[in-house]
Structure formats: C-alpha cells, structure tokens
Amino acid sequence: MSDVFPGLLNYWIAIVLMMVGFYIVIAQGNLIKKIVGLNIFQVAVFVFYISMGKVKGGTAPILGEGIDVYSNPLPHFLILTAIVVGVATTSLALALIVRINTSFGTIEEDEILELEHADDAKEETS
C-alpha cells in the first residue's frame, strides 16, 4: 500500500474535489451555488488531466537548448480550450439565473418549484 499511495494521490485529490462539487450541485438549492459547484467539478477534471500530462523530470513544453524531457503538451492544450468553453457556459447559466430571478423573484430551487405548483393549481381551478 505504501508504494501505491504517492503515485495515485493526484487522482484521489481530483476525485475528492470532484465529489465536493457533485454534492453541491445535487444537494444545494441555491442556483448560484450550484454553478459554483459545477465550477469546482470542472476544475477537478482539469487538475486530473494536467496531472496525467506530467512527466517526471520534465519541464514546461517550451523548446529550449539542452532540455530533453518535456511534459506532455496535449492535455495542456485540451484543458486550455476547456477552460474558455467552461467560462462561456458559466456565463450562459448565469444569464439564465438572472432571467429566472426576474420571472420568479427568487433563485432558490424549492421556492421556484412551489411557485410553479401554485401556478398549476390556479390554472386547474380556473
């Protein structure tokens, strides 16, 4: 077990962070907090990828004199793209939250559901 632990710690950190984000997304009612949880989840996946690209004794993938070992540039590129796309989707989600707030006057999930049920009940009686 003692030789397993140091080699896999990076994956375990990523998984713990991922699960914290996952818990926030499914258990918290506040929509902004859900987005923050989604961000935590996202960054955990990024850390996972980047840690896979690391090579022992390697340097950053910028060519230079007298350097032989580089870390893998491919995960870096993929995550670079993913960060930008992630912020784009986050901004879209936040815009939707603003819209929901103007319609319902709240950003708590259970209150929104209550309002929706109340509306449905009103329509049925009328």
Partner 1 sequence: MAVTAVFMLWLRDLVAVIMLSGIYSLFAAMIYVVMDAVDVAFTEAAVGAGVATVLMLGTLALTRQGTEKVHKTISWGPLSLVLVTGAVLIYGTLDMPRYGDPNAPVHSHVAPRYIERSASEVGPPNIVTSVLASYRGYDTLGETAVVFTAAIGVLVILGRRNRRQRKKAKREDAT
Q: Which of residues 64-123 bind partner 1 (CB under 8 A)?
A: 64, 69-77, 79-81, 83-92, 94-99, 101-102, 106-108, 111
Count of chain residues binding partner 1 (CB under 8 A): 83
- Grouping H, G, I as helix, E, B as strand and the rest as coil, residue 59 is strand
- Asked if 1 is part of the footprint of partner 1 (rule: CB under 8 A), the reply reads no
- Asked if 58 is part of the footprint of partner 1 (rule: CB under 8 A), the reply reads yes
For the purposes of burial, counting CB atoms within 10 Å of the CB of 21, is it exposed (0-12), middle (13-18) or buried (19 or more)? buried
For the purposes of burial, counting CB atoms within 10 Å of the CB of 34, is it exposed (0-12), middle (13-18) or buried (19 or more)? buried
Binding residue (CB under 8 A) for partner 1 from 29, 114, 119, 120: 29
Minimum separation from the CB atom of position 120 to partner 1 (A): 22
Q: Which is nearer to partner 1, 40 or 115 (CB)?
A: 40
Minimum separation from the CB atom of position 103 to partner 1 (A): 9
**Largest CA-CA distance found in the chain, in angstroms, rounded:** 81
Q: Which is nearer to partner 1, 98 or 124 (CB)?
A: 98
**Cβ partners under 8 Å of residue 119, min gap 6:** none
